[in-house]
Amino acid sequence: MRMTVGSWALALLLVAVAGAVLAVALHSPKVSGVALLRARIFLCTRTSSAQRRVSPLPSKCLDGTETTQQQTKVIASALKADRRIASSVYYNETESLALAKKELPGIGDLLRVGDIPAVFMLTVKASDFPAVQAKYSALPGVDLVNIMVKQ
């Protein structure tokens, strides 16, 4: 697929919006003196590959391949059973889009369902993050696992 200047600009915008919208309440809380991180598991959308072509990070998502409901259930079950995960909340693509429209008026109006990925928001011990990232990055339907960085 050949991308035009306009589609490159849109892809860059979508990557930036996804990061900005999902980066809410970004501090490192502590529980009993243990540093916790807020992390995200981004799922594949129909536009993941195009968005990530402009990113230095490779995308595991194939063009047009979205995370299935079954894959989402497997990820949710794994998170629920994982003792390293203090909490997790799932936001589907529609909920992610609603956050974008609320947080970025005007820009959010340019987006449609599928442009912002479904995501699991996690709280995990800082010391456990590398292992959590490795485990969940390997699961089918997962595009990216990262730490939420204050913008």
Q: pLDDT value at position 28?
A: 46
Q: How far apart are CA 115 and CA 52, in angstroms?
A: 12
Which residue bears the tokens 């195009």?
Answer: 50
pLDDT in tens, the chain (151 residues): 444 444 444 444 454 445 544 443 334 455 555 789 999 999 988 765 445 444 555 567 766 688 999 999 999 999 999 999 999 999 998 998 887 788 778 877 788 887 788 999 999 999 999 999 999 999 999 998 998 764 3
Q: pLDDT value at position 26?
A: 38
Torsion of CA 4, 53, 145, 74, to 10 degrees: 80
In CATH terms, 5-147 corresponds, of 3.30.565.10, 3.40.605.10, 3.30.70.3040, 1.25.40.10, to 3.30.70.3040
Find the angle CA(126)-CA(128)-CA(131) to the nearest 5 degrees: 135
Q: pLDDT value at position 64?
A: 66
Task: Give the chain's end-to-end CA distance (angstroms, integer).
Answer: 32
The tokens for 4 are: 């035009």
SS3 99: helix
Q: pLDDT value at position 66?
A: 86
Q: pLDDT value at position 39?
A: 93
Find the angle CA(89)-CA(95)-CA(101) to the nearest 5 degrees: 130
Task: Give the number of other CB atoms < 10 A from CB of residue 52.
Answer: 20
The answer for 121, left when phi > 0, alpha when psi is -120 to 50, beta otherwise, is: beta
pTM, entire model: 0.72
